[in-house]
Structures are given as C-alpha cells and as structure tokens.
Structure 1
Amino acid sequence: MDAGRLRADLLAACYTVDAVLDRIGEAGQDGLGRNMTVPADVALGGARDPLAALIRLFLLQRRVPRADLAGVIDVESLTAAGYLSPEGENLAADVDIRPYGSPDDGASGWVVSDLTPGLDLNMTPTRPDYVLGVSPASTTLAQITARTPVASALDLGTGCGVQSLHLGRHATHVVGTDVNARALDLAALTAALNVADVDLRAGSLYEPVTGERFDLIVSNPPFVMSPPSAEAETLTYREANFEGDRLVETLVRGAADHLNPGGSLQLLTNWAILDGPWEERLRDWVPEGCDAWFIERERLDVYSYIEMWLTDAGLAGTPRWRSAYDEWLAYFDRLGIRSVGMGWVQITRAERAEPHLRFESWPHAVAQPVGDVFARNAEAVTASLLPVGELLAARPMLVDVEQEMIGRPGAEDPEHVVFRQRVGLLRAVKADTALAAVLGALDGDLTLGQVVAAVAAVLEVDPAELAAGVLPEVRKALLDQLLRIV
C-alpha cells in the first residue's frame, strides 16, 4: 500500500485534528472520550463530504457508502491491505486511522491502531493481538518523557508507534520493538504516514536490542498482573504471562545493560504491594550504578484493579465475568498481593559512588508535560548532594515559583510563607521566617553563603546555626527543583 498517497489523501480531505474537532464540536469530542459516537454523529448531520466520510468511517466506525469514499482514499489498496472491508455497497474500517496532535512538541499527524472497543456500549471480547491506539496512558508517558536531544532512543513495546513519533522529535535514531507482529505492521504504517524514520524490530523485552545501548528508553509495558493464560488468550498489548510484576522487575534490572552512561529508562507501569514496605522490595530491583526514582501516582485495592482490567478485556456483562474475577482473586491471594501501585519510574545510569534512590507517593495534581522534571533530575540530585562548602559557594535561584503569605485575617504578620511551583509536579515548601528570608533572596546573584550571612545579620542569629537549620531545606528544594544552581 502506498502510505505517501494515503497521507496526501488525508491531507486533501483536511482529516486533521483541528479540522475534526471543528467539525464534531466539543460535545462530539467529549462523547468520543466516553466511547459514545452519537454527539459527533449529530454534529455531522447529513453531510457527505470527504471529511465527514472519513470521520464516520474511522472514528465513529460506521458503514460508509463506497460512493462517498470514491476519490477520497484509495479504496482498493486499503481493502487489499486488510484495512477496509466491503459490505455490499458500503465499506467498513478494520483499523482506526486517527488524527493525532501534540502541541507540546509538534509530533502531530496520524496514528494507526485497531478499532476502539466498546463504542456505544457494544462490548465484545478483545482479540489477543489487539493493537491499542492513543490512550490516557500513552499520552501520559509522552508527557513524562525527558525531551532532551539524544543520539539514540528505544521505544520498547511500541504498539501503535505513537511514542516513536515523539522520540523522533528529539532523538537522532529511534528503535521500536514489539512482540506483537500486528503491532509492528500498524506501527510501520503510523511511521510511514508521518514520514518518521523508525527501526522496527520483533521480539520480547530487550531481546531485539541485545548488545545495544541507548541514551533513552521509554515503555508503557504490558504490565497487567493477570493470571497466566494460554498464549492464544493472552492480550499481548497489556499482559505477558510473567508472574505478578516480574515483567517490570525484568525491565528495571536490565536497564543498566542497555543504557549509555547518563542515559535513562522511563516507565509508566504498576507494581504489586505485598505485606512489607513497597520501597524495600523495589529497591532490590535497581541495578548497580543506577539512580532510581519511583513515583506512586495512585494505589488501587485488588477489587478495583481486577474490575478495571476485566472490563478492559470486554468481559463486563458476559457469563465469564464472575469466574474470571474469582480466578484473579485466587491468583492475587497466592502471590500475597494486597494492593497495586501505579505510577512512573525513572532509572538513570548515573554511576555515582552512592546511588540515589527515591521512592515517594505523589497523588496530587501536576502540570503536564513534566518531561523537563525528569530531564533535570540527575542535575537536581547532584546539586542536592553537594558538600557543605560547595553548596554555600553555589548560586541557587528560585525557578517558576510563586510566594504566598498565609496567616489569620487581620494579623500583622503571616504565620508562614509558602513557595509553590507553577510548573512540573507543583510542589510547595512551607517556610518559617528564616527559611523564607533565605529562599526569597536566592536570585542567582549572591552565593548561598552570602545570603545566609546577610539573613543571619538581620535576624541577629549565629550564621552557623542558621545554616545548619536551613541547609537541609535548601537541599530538598534543589532536589524538588524549586531551586536551580546557575
């Protein structure tokens, strides 16, 4: 099939994000977000122009008269490739070709995947080799990915290929891998439609890149902790028949062997919570010479987790629901899984004398994209660990931070001052008078030592005692990136 011709046809029909949104309106877009096509269908009315025909065909999964698509797309070529099916005088889509927009980095174009399941409550079991399209998870992974220019990047478990589109904006060479042959076929079409150069390879986990190293590895792996099943029944886009969270453990443990010095692995994934502290178990996964940052964004009890993934598999309302539910419960009980942590992981081959390992729960709102936060993490860790003398000689400054005064109404002085980030993870520091004075004066011109001495003189306290009190908070502010050394 001629991907170049299809790209030209889609552009000629104005089948782009902005044009589609303008055509179906906010209600239509919101409806599709709920897997409901009626609002968009109503917005199209009786229109039979090329854009309306493509919206109905791919986004609404309607049967479209062949006559409406004649001269719009190469029907014969798409049918021969298995992307369209004739039904009398109508045509039906067998894949989803969807406009994709990314104003953050310009990775816009089209993404090819399998049809969205469950439209208009039409629940059907999911095929084992199903290729997922752009999902909230894939969008989040793109938003948390460090976008520093690099020579090489690996999209591990590429699926429909959307992460490779983003990686191609800042990586010279992009490799995409997947165990699912159908995923590789659709990812190839995604790449071709977007004129993206992606080296696609078949294989599981790190097998296709044995002996290779990358500056950046990203993955939203098939992490779902479902009971092992026959290969013919395994949903390859979300599960891999590893016991519990062993697949995630394997990715983390193998990261150092596939990263260049300073390179990072970034995952959107989940992990099992057993009886002991979750941090201790995950700490053992981190390979030697690597920093690690695990951020738990959400924690689900086993019932919520099971219900979510059984529904995702199309089992809601079917006779298999309860038996599958019981099977999952027994499996979790055997493994001792009490709940499931879901979040973000960054493993960096920092090669420090003492690796920096950070585990935290951060369920609060963030300002996406937060890729810059991960991109600057190694620098922030280094700054936070400076020896006292070097730290006092450094020139930190507040970055993208607002200062708030909090106190009782009518009070002459605030009870405390809050320094709050406007970007990234939106962290905040509640400061007393001394810390607020120090942080407020850090603008990159004076050294930290000079600021501490000046504040000590104003407050009439011993500079050494003031430094001892504020330096731990300054280190934390550096690590959390409220402060940056210039």
Structure 2
Amino acid sequence: MTRVIPSVTLRFAIDEVGVGSRNVGGLWQGGPKVEMEEAMGQLNMEPVLMAALRSDLLAADWTVDVVEGLLSPMALAAMDRDQLVPAALEMRNQTSPAAVLTMVFVLAQPVRAGSFAYAMPTLGVDGAVSLGIITTEGREGEVWCNAVLDLRPHTAAIPVGGVTERHQWWVASDLSQAQTGRPPREDYVLGIASASTNLLRLTMRDPVASALDMGCGCGILTLYLSTHAQKVVATDISERACNFTRFNAALNQVDIDVRQGSLFDPVVGQSFDLITSNPPFVITPEAVRTRTNLEYRDGGMVRDNLIPLIIEQAVAHLAPGGCLQMLANWEVGSDTKWWQRRPTRWVEDATATLVADGVEVDAWVVQRDLVDVAQYAEWWMRDQWGDNVERGVWNAEYAEWIRDFAKAGTEYVGLGFIAVRLRRRKDDVEMVSGDLTVVAEYLPEGEPANGNAVKTALNNLRTPRDWKNATFLRRSDVREARYYVPGQPDPELVRITQGCPGGRDRSVSSVVAALVGVSDGELTPAQVIPAIAALLGREESEVSLELEEAVPELLRSGVLEEAPSPEH
C-alpha cells in the first residue's frame, strides 16, 4: 500500500500515473551557524570523495522509507507545515547512520563530529569538509558538523516503455531561508519544489534519443530524463545551478552533459526529441527586481515575455516529431474567459515559420489555476521574505506589486503548462504546407494530468474527419452519475467522471451521455444518432451538431478512444 504525504516542503508525492516521486524534506527554523554566501562554491566533486559519499549513503540505507520509519505521524505532519522541532526532538535519541544523516542534512541540525564519522565512515569528517558538504566548528571543547547544503533521499518510479523503473537517488540543493534564518541569495538553487514535481508528472516518458532540460536548477528533471533518453543535456544560466546538477549526476552515477549559459545559447545548432523546462517565470515588478533578483524564479524579462521567447527558441531546437513540455504563467485582464489569448498567440507566433515550411504542429495549453494579482504577489513575497521582514517593508513592496499589475491592466495570473509537438512527415514526403492545431483548456478540477494524459491529448487534438463513421471505445475508468428531482423520470444533471490521472469530472447533456454509453467499438455515431434523436425527441441535425462539438473533448480527455480497425 502506498503512503502519500501531500507537502510542499516535505515534498513527498506519488504520482498516480506511475511517475512516483517521493522526497523526504523539511525546514528547521534554527538553522546551522554557517555563512551560506560561501556554500556550493567550494564543492570539490573529486571522484574518490564522491565515491566515498555514495558508498556511505548506500551503507546507511538512507532511503525515503527508512527516514519515514524513524519519525512519528505527528513529526511528519509538522514537517509538512515547515516545523521541524518535533522531528528534531524524536531524532535526538536515535543513533543509526540514517538518523544522523537526516539530522544534519534534512533537519539542518549540527551533530557531533564523532556521530558524523560513525554515519559516514568511508568519507569521514575531513572528506566531507574537503568535498564541500559540511563545515565544522568548535563548541564547548567539541567539534560539531554543520550542513552546507540540503541533501535528501528521493525515490522515483518511472514508467518507461510500459515498464515501471524504480530508482533511489539523493538530491542536493541549497539550504532554504527557513533553515538558515536568512533570505535566499540571488543565485539560490531550489530543491524539489511543487513546480518541479508537477513537471515530472506531466513529462511523457517515451524512450527518446536526446533530451534537453533547459533551466536545470538542482537537476531533478535531468535525472528523470536520463531514464528514458539516450543522451541528456542540461543547461542553466547559473553556474551554481550547473554545479548542483553536476554534483547530483555524479552522486547518482548518471551521465549528464551540463552546460552553463542563457536559454538555448549552450545548444546552438542542436536539436532534441524532448525539451523540458521549468523556467523562472515569475512576473516581478521592475521596482522590486532592482532591489533583489532571485535567479531561480525571475528570468529578468519584462512582464511575462520570457515564456514566448522560450517557446520560440525551443521549437527551433526540436527534432522532427519532437516535443516541448514546459510550465508557464501568463497575465490575464478583467475578462477571464479570454485567458487563452496570450499563450495561444505565443504558440502561433513561435511556430509560424515551421508551419509555412510544411510542418504540422500540435499544441496543448492548459490553465490549472487562475489567481488574482494580490494572491500572486503574496505567494512570491512570502517565498522571498518568509517571516523575516518588517510590516512596513512588506506593505511597501506589496503596494509595488499591485501598482505594477494595475498599470499593465492585469487582474489575474494564469498558471499552467504548454506542450508543443512537431509531427513527423509520413514517409519523409515533403508537404506543400503544414498547419497548426492549438487547443487551450481551463481544467481547474479533476485529477492532475500526467504524461499519459498529455500524450492522449496531443494525439487527439485533431478530430477524425469522418468521425461519424468511426467506431469508438469507452475507457474502462469512465463512470456516469445521474441526478434526478424526486418523482421526475428524466435526470436533471448527468456527470461523466474519469478515475485515471488527468481524468476530468464534467456535466454532459443526455445526448453526449448516450454516445458514451453505446461506445463499445461496434456502433458508429452515424448509426446511433437516429436512435438518440428519437429517444430524446430531438432533430437528428441537432444531435449531430451537439456530438460534433463534444467528440473532440471526449477524445482529448481519454473518455473515448478510436477502436482499432478490423484488419488490426
């Protein structure tokens, strides 16, 4: 039975699709007495030391399951709320190597040098200092060890080629401001946050020859790509982030080509089958940016213009049949029903040249959240300041955010993801002209999408031309609920739900419910439309038009799939 602990800082989540991602984490308010300005710059990455570190972590059996077994449900729940005191208290009397490693690297508590040496007998204290993962200090006649970076176990279950592969990794990143008691430095490298987990879940895991992780950060997306791509390149404008990715790749014995540079500059002239990006998309007011600019979240562009630039450059680096998958946000005015205008135009502009050259392009734009600008500002101010800010400073900066959005006419920010795929030309035959199909959907409810849901949507953005004479199969996870007014023979409301990842929950008409109900791979819509019309007392033309509008969404969402032809 899988245990799921939903968390932001504990960052433990099992993706229902099979891309399972479990990560033990948390933030300790006291924090080590270490000047973080020097952290990571001292990473040695000497192969002998890295091998010793890996050997000790394996010997300690330092895994997610083991760490969870060391802590009570209360302590784990407190970690979910950024409170590590209960966990630290429970760990104080535990002396196993796994407990010591958790104390120093996850809870960011100083430990005696003797305890650290016991937990890491091969690397030792001197080796860990030389490697750059701890510092030491003398206190009351004893030597104590403090973590310089955040290091934690991570368990991944990744479906590749129909088989779920399980990996046990360790992932290093910067200590957080809750651990250090100070706001993050400008080149701070974030660990596995909720955005990373979302993109890990959304990424299609088909085997590919090459993959690029643009804006790699600590390298967690890169590690996942390495499980199904023959060659993986990771880039980031931050040399510090590149160092973390190199460190994590070496520690986990994964071959990654890491290159420092802005956007796609490090891969000029190269193309990839899959490009993923969790870019620094936060829309920061210029007045705020001049005081501080956190690289991991702010790309330095005006407003939300970083996203269209990435799309434009990414599609130019896609191989035939390649796909871009990225997280994004976009500004929305007062009329939220038109939220899709900006991201749709970005895709249209970025792919115009390809389409003119005869390439067929499919794009799926999904908005999962729509937040007002005040909430958006609060999110990122707390991310920057935490509780370490005076009320007057908070209010002044809050006003800057609100004024900046008001000046731009922005009342909301949409958060979601974009997938753009280039279709391969059949038999390498040149096409006279290509085309672009873009579908933008707001999906605030239902199960979070995964790679399979993205693949299903991309494969079904184009409705079969002769849909009336096609045969469809209803997926096994589809369920129907009908709601009646007592005493009435006909339902007032019909809802179709899906249990799979990415599954939706929506109200449908009786016409649509009828088609879903008879879709067993035998009958075509053309055959059942007359019967549906007669049963409901409707004109056949009306029923046909309603189904023509409904079938695309039913296919995209995976409620229906085309039945294989008899010869297959």
1:34 maps to which residue? 81
2:32 maps to which residue? none
Matches of 1:461 and 1:128, distance apart in 2: 64
Matches of 1:242 and 1:322, distance apart in 2: 24
Q: Is the 8 A contact 2:468 2:525 kept in 1?
A: yes
Matched to 1:109, the amino acid is: W
1:357 maps to which residue? 438
Residue from 373, 378, 382 that aligns with 1:311: 382
Identify if the C-alpha distance between structure 1 residues 485 and 338 changes in structure 2 by more than 3 Å, giving closer, same or farther. same
Matches for 1:16-415 after TM superposition, within 5 Å: 16-73=63-120, 74=123, 75-88=125-138, 89-105=143-159, 106-119=166-179, 123-228=181-286, 233-274=292-333, 277-286=338-347, 287=350, 288=352, 289=355, 290-314=361-385, 316-319=387-390, 320-350=393-423, 353-367=434-448, 370-382=450-462, 384=463, 386-387=464-465, 390-399=466-475, 400-409=477-486, 411-415=488-492
Deviation at 1:355, TM superposition (A): 1.6
2:54 maps to which residue? 7
Matched to 2:471, the amino acid is: R
Q: What is the SS of the residue equivalent to 2:177?
A: coil
Identify if the C-alpha distance between structure 1 residues 123 and 359 changes in structure 2 by more than 3 Å, giving closer, same or farther. farther
Q: Is the 8 A contact 2:110 2:146 kept in 1?
A: yes
Q: Deviations over 1:388-410 (max 9, x none)?
A: xx223322111121122321345
Matches of 1:428 and 1:113, distance apart in 2: 38
Q: Deviations over 1:241-282 (max 9, x none)?
A: 111111112112223201123322112221222467432233
Matches for 1:457-468 after TM superposition, within 5 Å: 466-468=543-545
- Let me know the Cα RMSD of the aligned residues: 2.6
Segment of structure 1 superposing worse, 455-464 or 142-151? 455-464
Matched to 1:440, the amino acid is: G
Q: Is the 8 A contact 2:272 2:319 kept in 1?
A: yes
Q: What is the SS of the residue equivalent to 1:313?
A: helix
Q: Is the 8 A contact 2:460 2:552 kept in 1?
A: no
Q: Deviations over 1:97-129 (max 9, x none)?
A: 11012235434311110113214xx64121111
Q: Is the 8 A contact 2:63 2:168 kept in 1?
A: no
After TM superposition, the score normalised by the length of structure 1 is 0.90
Q: Which runs of 5+ in 2 are unaligned?
A: 1-45, 160-165, 356-360, 425-432, 564-568
Matched to 1:96, the amino acid is: D
Segment of structure 1 superposing worse, 408-417 or 186-195? 408-417
Deviation at 1:83, TM superposition (A): 1.3
Segment of structure 1 superposing worse, 199-208 or 102-111? 102-111
Matched to 1:338, the amino acid is: E
Q: Is the 8 A contact 2:328 2:417 kept in 1?
A: yes
Matched to 2:457, the amino acid is: N
Matches of 1:436 and 1:327, distance apart in 2: 50
2:512 maps to which residue? 435
Identify if the C-alpha distance between structure 1 residues 269 and 463 changes in structure 2 by more than 3 Å, giving closer, same or farther. closer
Deviation at 1:154, TM superposition (A): 1.1
Deviation at 1:457, TM superposition (A): 7.4
Deviation at 1:484, TM superposition (A): 0.9
After TM superposition, the score normalised by the length of structure 2 is 0.78
Segment of structure 1 superposing worse, 420-429 or 59-68? 420-429
Q: Which runs of 5+ in 1 are unaligned?
A: none
Deviation at 1:214, TM superposition (A): 1.4
Matches of 1:231 and 1:130, distance apart in 2: 17
Matches of 2:406 and 2:375, distance apart in 1: 15
Matches of 2:415 and 2:83, distance apart in 1: 27
Deviation at 1:68, TM superposition (A): 0.4
Q: Is the 8 A contact 2:331 2:410 kept in 1?
A: yes
Matches of 2:416 and 2:543, distance apart in 1: 37
Residues matched between the structures, number = 479
Matched to 1:446, the amino acid is: L
Deviation at 1:91, TM superposition (A): 0.3
Matches of 2:381 and 2:537, distance apart in 1: 64
Q: What is the SS of the residue equivalent to 1:376?
A: helix
Deviation at 1:453, TM superposition (A): 5.7
Q: What is the SS of the residue equivalent to 1:196?
A: coil
Q: Is the 8 A contact 1:123 1:314 kept in 2?
A: no
Q: Is the 8 A contact 1:123 1:316 kept in 2?
A: no
Matches of 1:408 and 1:254, distance apart in 2: 55
Q: Deviations over 1:275-310 (max 9, x none)?
A: 674322333211223333222222222222222212
Q: What is the SS of the residue equivalent to 1:265?
A: strand
Task: Tell me whether 1:472 sits opposite 2:549 in the alignment.
Answer: yes
2:9 maps to which residue? none
Q: Is the 8 A contact 2:279 2:299 kept in 1?
A: no
Q: Identity of paired residues, percent?
A: 34
Matched to 2:197, the amino acid is: T
Q: Is the 8 A contact 2:445 2:504 kept in 1?
A: no
Matches of 1:135 and 1:207, distance apart in 2: 26
Deviation at 1:162, TM superposition (A): 0.5
Matched to 1:85, the amino acid is: T
Identify if the C-alpha distance between structure 1 residues 445 and 429 changes in structure 2 by more than 3 Å, giving closer, same or farther. farther
Identify if the C-alpha distance between structure 1 residues 173 and 231 changes in structure 2 by more than 3 Å, giving closer, same or farther. farther
